[in-house]
Amino acid sequence: MYVIGTAGHVDHGKSTLIEALTGIDPDRLREEKERGLTIDLGFAWLNLPSGKEVSIVDVPGHERFIKNMLSGVGAIDLAMLIVAADESVMPQTLEHLAILDLLSVRKSFVVITKSDLVDNDLLELVKLEVEEAVKGTKLDSSPVLCVSSTTKEGLRELIGELDSALGELEERPDLGRPRLAIDRSFSISGFGTVVTGTLIDGVFKLGQEVFLARRGVRSRIRGIQAHKSHLEIATPGTRIAVNLMNIKAENVSRGEILTIPGWLNSTRAIDAKVKILNSVARPVRHNFPITVHVYSAETTARLRLLNQDFLKPGQEGWAQLWLDEHLPLVRGDRFIFRSTDQTIGGGVIVDLDSKKHRRKDPAVIDYLDALIQEDPLVKLETTLESVQPSDVKSISRLINLPLVETIALIEKAVSVGFIFPLGNAIDESSDLLTVRGWREISNKAISILTDFHKENPLKLGMSLEEFRKRLALKERFAESVLNALLKTGDIVEDGHIVRLENHSPILTVNQQSQIDDFLAILSETPFPTDQPSLPVDLQMILVDRGEIIRLGSNMAIKTNYYKMIQSKIINRVKSEGQISLSETRDLLGTSRKYAQSILEHMDDEKITRRVGDIRILL
């Protein structure tokens, strides 16, 4: 399915043309019908001769309703720029043309309407004026068709051109991150809230859990419709109506994004490549106040120019936009920005949630230049570098490629030495680093342990928990990074600790003798009458080695004895349902002091829990 949009000056016959093509009047509001003027977005649909289904979005042409126009053109596949033969190119024709150009609409051509109202000579003159107007834009050299909605002349040729142009477009990709930019929200008695928009970047399914990204509210899809037909699955590029559960229509407004939970966050800071229109009267200065339009959303913002003090008409440059409202956006989204009374430019988002950049910083400009690179390997590496560690599925969403293509690109990047996978086979859940990022983490890990060993020469190593904390990695990546570090052989996991491969505690002859004597006594019996003494730092070496368990500050037991005792207590509690301190003492044939220390240690290990005077299993 495809979506076509109209654009053009007020009263140039956009709605009349749509009705002539489809038999559907797109003007749905009473005021629109009374005034003969499109105020808000209108909708219709058409089946083309090839069998393609087409949704048509009709936008208002009056300058007062330009915001509504912008809500309708963000996700269209093909635009028809409408010019009336009896008026030719007008101010809103040029503004709408500029907007289509800035948004890089996939396909566009010009339709001259009301051809029956002028003679051939004037019609040819209008064609020349249209060709002059589109020169230097993406509509340059595009077809110009003449039609009359009244006499139907040229409509068959127009339908053929639509069919042919849409046939040249690739299907919109499924990036696994569905987004519906909501342009209408209303309630139907007996069904509840319905929202409409054009679905991009993924699929929606009946019964699927969904997420309103701006409000942060979850819902579920009760029903999906397209062209009055019920759907179980809606694919990218489809204009749909979605019936939502447990949401009131008044709580969902135009500009909201319907998606799936767990991936889309809102932001107030975006980095973008921006372009100022040639028609703007004067240069746009740094920190200029603007209104930003992205899909069906709008918010005010400040335009922070990063490499210049101002941009002249027709110039491009890097900017950071500080939005006054949080918007759920993704890299690659295109937007329009306006002053109070005119469109002044547009741009493409290359990065999100960025910190406030220092202006005219070469490093910042180089980074942004790399992000907008056409070379997919460079773009992949730069994107990963900005968010690493990350997983394949997240990167797929960031670089706007389907998952299968992303995996193929990552495999190529691994083969040429750009990317380091934290694992073996690469799939959607694989964690990744750039080679440079891996080198930095590896060096940091070795430095952390080197410093630790210098400060604690008698300790076998650092606890795993402390090591993860000092690496300062996101929790979900800590395990895969640790596993990759262990594979290098430079770092060794020893029970609950990690150490450098070549490290062992440096003991004097006297210290080793103390340890030997201490272990000899503990080996004779689990409960020696006189508890042997050993400095705590030397005891901790034995704890790190897994040879002893410390029971409080003044008591220790060989690990093998402790495991046997622990097993006895667990079996008794399983049999009897509980155990008391005196029962533990009798079971082990030891003193009350030893029994209490062992039970307290098992409590600390979350094996047992004290309830009054007894212990039960957790």
Looking at residue 111, what is its pLDDT?
93
Tokens of 44: 């219709």
Compute the average pLDDT of residues 534-556: 84
Same domain, yes or no: 44 and 79:
yes
Residue 427 burial (CB < 10 Å; 0-12/13-18/19+)? exposed
Give the pLDDT confidence of 268-310 residue by residue, as tens digits: 999 999 999 988 989 999 999 999 999 889 899 999 999 999 9
Assess whether pLDDT exceeds 90 at residue 404.
Answer: no
3-state secondary structure 135-179: CCCCCCCCCEEECCCCCCCCHHHHHHHHHHHHHCCCCCCCCCCCE
The conformation of residue 283, written as its DSSP 8-state character, comes to P
Q: Tell me how many domains the chain contains.
A: 5
Same domain, yes or no: 203 and 292:
no
CA of residue 109 relative to chain centroid, distance: 33
Assess whether pLDDT exceeds 80 at residue 174.
Answer: yes
Tokens of 390: 């990350």
CA angle 22, 334, 52 (to 5 degrees): 30
Looking at residue 68, what is its pLDDT?
62
Which phi and psi angles does 453 have, rounded to 5°? -65, -35
Residue with tokens 């859990």: 209
Compute the average pLDDT of residues 535-557: 84
The CATH number for 134's domain is: 3.40.50.300
Last residue of a domain, one of 453, 483, 506: 506
Compute the average pLDDT of residues 82-101: 89
Residue 604 burial (CB < 10 Å; 0-12/13-18/19+)? exposed
Looking at residue 71, what is its pLDDT?
64
Percentage of residues of the chain with pLDDT beyond 70: 95
The CATH number for 485's domain is: 1.10.10.10
Last residue of a domain, one of 367, 393, 420: 367
Residue 82 burial (CB < 10 Å; 0-12/13-18/19+)? buried
Q: How far apart are alpha carbons 618 and 607 in whole angstroms?
A: 6
Same domain, yes or no: 299 and 434:
no
Instruction: Specify which residues 594 forms β-bridges with.
Output: none
Q: How far apart are alpha carbons 225 and 177 in whole angstroms?
A: 20
| Residue 374 belongs to a domain | no
212-221, 302-311, 501-510: least confidently modelled range: 501-510
Q: How far apart are alpha carbons 354 and 348 in whole angstroms?
A: 15
Q: Place 74 in a pLDDT band, splitting at 50, 70 and 90.
A: low
Same domain, yes or no: 309 and 348:
yes
Instruction: Specify which residues 271 forms β-bridges with.
Output: 320, 351
Kindly tell me the sign of the dihedral angle through the C-alpha atoms of 575, 576, 578, 580.
negative
Q: Which helix (H) or strand (E) is 15 found in, with range?
A: helix 14-22
- Average pLDDT of the chain is 87
For 41-76, give one letter per residue: b (16+ CB within 10 A) or e: bbbbbbebeeeeebbbbbbbbeeebbebbbbbbbbb
Same domain, yes or no: 160 and 12:
yes
Assess whether pLDDT exceeds 70 at residue 40.
Answer: no
Looking at residue 558, what is its pLDDT?
92
**What is this structure's pTM?**
0.70
Q: How far apart are alpha carbons 339 and 40 in whole angstroms?
A: 21
The CATH number for 209's domain is: 2.40.30.10
CB count in 10 Å sphere of residue 242: 25
Q: Do residues 12 and 144 touch, judged by C-beta distance below 8 A?
A: no
Candidate ranges 25-29, 56-60, 328-332, 504-508; pick with highest mean pLDDT = 328-332
Give the pLDDT confidence of 440-478 residue by residue, as tens digits: 888 998 999 999 988 888 888 888 888 888 888 877 788
Q: Do residues 274 and 345 touch, judged by C-beta distance below 8 A?
A: yes
Same domain, yes or no: 276 and 322:
yes
Domain hosting residue 221, numbered range: 179-259
Same domain, yes or no: 271 and 254:
no
Contacts with 454 (C-beta within 8 Å, 6 or more apart), sequence order: none
Q: Do residues 64 and 342 touch, judged by C-beta distance below 8 A?
A: no
Assess whether pLDDT exceeds 80 at residue 31.
Answer: no
Last residue of a domain, one of 506, 531, 558: 506
Residue 349 burial (CB < 10 Å; 0-12/13-18/19+)? buried
Kindly report each contact of residues 37-42 with a partner whose C-beta sits within 8 Å and lies 24 or more positions away, as own/partner. Answer: 37/10, 37/11, 37/62, 38/14, 38/62, 38/65, 39/65, 39/68, 40/65, 40/68, 41/68, 41/71, 41/72, 41/183, 41/184, 42/15, 42/18
Assess whether pLDDT exceeds 50 at residue 260.
Answer: yes
Assess whether pLDDT exceeds 60 at residue 547.
Answer: yes
| Residue 362 belongs to a domain | yes
| Residue 301 belongs to a domain | yes
| Residue 380 belongs to a domain | no
Where would I find the H helices in 245-304?
A: none
83-92, 504-513, 552-561: least confidently modelled range: 504-513
Compute the average pLDDT of residues 405-419: 88
Same domain, yes or no: 557 and 434:
no
Looking at residue 66, what is its pLDDT?
57
Instruction: Specify which residues 179 forms β-bridges with.
Output: 200
Looking at residue 510, what is its pLDDT?
87
Same domain, yes or no: 160 and 125:
yes
Give the pLDDT confidence of 316-368 residue by residue, as tens digits: 999 999 999 999 998 889 999 988 778 899 999 988 888 888 899 998 898 88
- Return the closest-CA partner of residue 334 out of 400, 404, 385, 265: 400
SS3 label, residue 332: coil
Q: How far apart are alpha carbons 55 and 239 in whole angstroms?
A: 6
Q: Place 601 in a pLDDT band, splitting at 50, 70 and 90.
A: very high
Give the relative orientation of helices 475-488 and 435-455 as an angle to the nearest 10 degrees: 80
Same domain, yes or no: 143 and 29:
yes
Compute the average pLDDT of residues 205-212: 94
Looking at residue 477, what is its pLDDT?
81
Q: How many Cα atoms are found within 13 Å in the side-chain-facing hemisphere of 541?
A: 21
CA of residue 311 relative to chain centroid, distance: 30
| Residue 117 belongs to a domain | yes
Residue with tokens 């299968």: 404
Looking at residue 38, what is its pLDDT?
40
Assess whether pLDDT exceeds 90 at residue 222.
Answer: yes
Q: How far apart are alpha carbons 267 and 353 in whole angstroms?
A: 6
Compute the average pLDDT of residues 260-270: 90
Give whole-number Cα distances, 176 to 200, 236, 387, 394, 424, in Å.
10, 10, 19, 10, 23
Q: How far apart are alpha carbons 460 and 462 in whole angstroms?
A: 7
Looking at residue 535, what is its pLDDT?
84
Q: Do residues 433 and 385 touch, judged by C-beta distance below 8 A?
A: no
- Return the closest-CA partner of residue 204 out of 188, 219, 215, 216: 219
CB count in 10 Å sphere of residue 547: 18
Same domain, yes or no: 526 and 498:
no
Assess whether pLDDT exceeds 70 at residue 26.
Answer: no
CA of residue 221 relative to chain centroid, distance: 21
Q: Do residues 98 and 70 touch, judged by C-beta distance below 8 A?
A: no
Same domain, yes or no: 113 and 12:
yes
Q: How far apart are alpha carbons 589 and 595 in whole angstroms?
A: 9
| Residue 590 belongs to a domain | yes
Which position has the higher pLDDT, 495 or 212? Answer: 212
Q: Do residues 212 and 328 touch, judged by C-beta distance below 8 A?
A: no
